[in-house]
Structure 1
Amino acid sequence: MSFVAIDFETASGYHPCSVGIVTVENGQIVDEFVTLIQPPNNSYNPHTIQVHGIHPRDTQYAKDFGEVFPEIQKRLQNQIVVAHNENFDRNVLIKSMALHGLHYEDLNIPNRWECTLKIYRSKGFKPAKLSDCCRVMNIALNHHEALSDARACAYLYLLR
C-alpha cells in the first residue's frame, strides 16, 4: 500500500501556515516533510492561533506557498492522497495553488482524495475527529501540529 498523507494548518480561511506530508510505500513510512508557510501578508485569524499555536512571528521569515510548492509537488504528484478531512485540505491546496498561478490538474491526482474522516465515520466512530480516532486506535498525536496530524492520518489509513 503506497500513498501520501497530508495535513495543512491554516492562518485564516484557506491560507496555510504549515504543511505536513507523510509518504508511505508498501505500508511503511519512507519520508516525512513539514514546514511553516508564510500566509499572505503574514495575516492570521486569532481563532486559528488558538487552535494550532502558530503565530505571525513564527512565519515572518518563512517561505510563502509558491516557494514551498516544489516540495509539496514532488511528494504529491501522481500519488494517492489521503487526508483526515480531505475536502478541507484539498481546498487549501487548490486555492493556494490558484493564488500562485499553479494548476491543480498538473499534479495528476484525483479530484477527491481518500478521507479517513469518512472511512472512520462509516465504521461507526462518533465523533470521528482525528483526535478521537487516534485515541480509540491508540495512535500518538500532537493534534494540530501538521506533521503529527499527517502521520496519524497515515496510520489510520493503514489500519482501516
Structure 2
Amino acid sequence: MNFTAIDFETATGYAHSACAIGLVTVENGIITDEYHTLIRPPENEYWFRNIMVHGIKPVETMNLPAFDDLFPEIRKRILGRKLVAHNEAFDRSVLTKTMKYYGMYYDELELADQWECTLKIYRKKGYKPANLKACSERHGIQLNHHEALSDARACAKLYLLHDGQVKLSM
C-alpha cells in the first residue's frame, strides 16, 4: 500500500489561497515521510473566518515563501503518487487552483483525475458523522484538527485502516 495523504489549509475562501500543507508518505503500509510547511498566500491576505478555523495568522506567513517557491519540495512528494485526502474535492481544488495561479500545470504531476477520499469511504461504511474529527475519535487516532500535518496523518491512518492495514506507528 503506497500513497501520499495530503491536506491543505486556506487563508481565504478562494481555493488558490493555500497557507499550509501537510503531506504524509506511506510505503508498504508504513508512514515513511512527513512534510509540513506554512505558505505565504497571495498578498498574504487572510479572512477572519479562516483564521478562526485553523489559527494561522498573516504575521506567521508574511516572511515565508509563496507556493511556487515551495513547490519543488511538494512536487517530489506527490509526483505520480496515489493521493488520498479526507475531502479530496477540496484539497484537489486547492492544489489545482494554486498551481494555476502561479502558472504551473497540474497535468505534469501525473496524478489521477480524482483522488482517494476517506470522507467518501467512511460515509459508505455508514459513519455518521464521517468528518475527520469524528472518524479519528472513533478509531483512537490523535488529531490536532485543522493543523495540516495532523490532518494528513489522520487521513493516512484512516486510509490504512480502511484497507485492512494496521501499521499505524511513526
Tell me the TM-score range normalised by the shorter chain: over 0.9
Q: Structure 2: how far apart are the matches of 1:7 and 1:105?
A: 19
What TM-score does the superposition give when structure 2 sets the normalisation length?
0.93
Which one-letter code corresponds to 1:3 in the other structure?
F
Which one-letter code corresponds to 2:48 in the other structure?
P
Match of 1:91 in 2: 93
Matches within 5 A, 1:5-84: 5-12=5-12, 13-14=14-15, 15-84=17-86
In the alignment, structure 1 segments of 5+ residues that lack a partner are: none
Match of 1:108 in 2: 110
Q: Structure 1: how far apart are the matches of 2:46 and 2:150?
A: 22
How many residue pairs match? The answer is 160
| Aligned sequence identity (%) | 57
- 1:137 CA drift (Å): 1.0
- 1:48 CA drift (Å): 0.4
What TM-score does the superposition give when structure 1 sets the normalisation length?
0.99
Q: Report the secondary structure of 1:33's partner residue.
A: strand
Once the two structures are superposed, what CA deviation does each residue of 1:30-81 show, in whole Å capped at 9, x if it has no partner?
Answer: 0000000000000001000000000000001111010111111100001000
Q: Structure 1: how far apart are the matches of 2:72 and 2:89?
A: 22
In the alignment, structure 2 segments of 5+ residues that lack a partner are: 163-170
Q: Report the secondary structure of 2:143's partner residue.
A: coil
Q: Considering only aligned residues, what root-mean-square deviation do their CA atoms show, in Å?
A: 0.5
